[in-house]
């Protein structure tokens, strides 16, 4: 029996996969549970059209993410922080600080999409943050931590 999966099914396939299963498994479990539909000729045509549209949308999303990534890597990000003896910071610089610095440059990036090495930074210097803009697009955004000027 040929079926089109409507949801991910463990050990069988992912959503929108065309799978062949035994008749009893399809009739008694997958179809009544709403996890699959029969793979009729019309259902296959609808599936092909949906996959084609999704591929087009996915390509546009990847292109937009790549464009945004190029803009982010070109930014000059500088984060001012209070400094103690030497180059040690009072406190630390975290993902929140990096997200705020990027937002101040005009790009609103969710802090959950940003990661920095070691999660927190406690010294002055040059660093890179990984920003995941899409499932397939991750960029490295350079930033610098500088000493806050005393007034």
Rounded percentage of the chain residues whose pLDDT exceeds 70: 99
What pLDDT band is residue 14 in, cutting at 50, 70 and 90? confident
* Contact criterion met (CB below 8 Å) for 63 and 127: no
**Claim to verify: residue 25 and residue 43 sit in the same structural domain:** yes
pTM for the model: 0.61
115-119-122 Cα angle (round to 5) = 125
**Claim to verify: residue 84 and residue 125 sit in the same structural domain:** yes
Render pLDDT for 29-67 as a digit per residue (tens, 0 to 9): 999 999 999 999 999 999 999 888 888 888 888 899 899
**Claim to verify: residue 118 and residue 78 sit in the same structural domain:** yes
pLDDT score, position 151 = 52
> Which one has a higher pLDDT value, 128 or 117?
128
- For residue 52, the enclosing domain spans 2-65
């Amino acid at each position: 029996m040929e079926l089109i999966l409507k949801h991910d099914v463990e050990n069988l396939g992912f959503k929108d996969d065309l799978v062949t299963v035994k008749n009893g498994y399809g009739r008694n479990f997958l179809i009544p549970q709403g996890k699959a539909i029969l793979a009729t000729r019309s259902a296959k045509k609808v599936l092909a059209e949906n996959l084609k549209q999704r591929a087009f949308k996915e390509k546009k999303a990847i292109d937009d993410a790549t464009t945004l990534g190029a803009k982010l890597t070109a930014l000059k990000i500088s984060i001012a922080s209070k400094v103690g003896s030497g180059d040690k910071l009072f406190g630390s610089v975290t993902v929140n600080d990096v997200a705020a610095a990027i937002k101040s440059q005009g790009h609103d990036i969710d802090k959950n999409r940003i990661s920095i090495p070691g999660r927190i930074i406690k010294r002055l210097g040059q660093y890179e943050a990984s920003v995941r803009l899409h499932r397939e697009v991750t960029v490295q955004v350079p930033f610098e931590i500088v000493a806050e000027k005393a007034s």
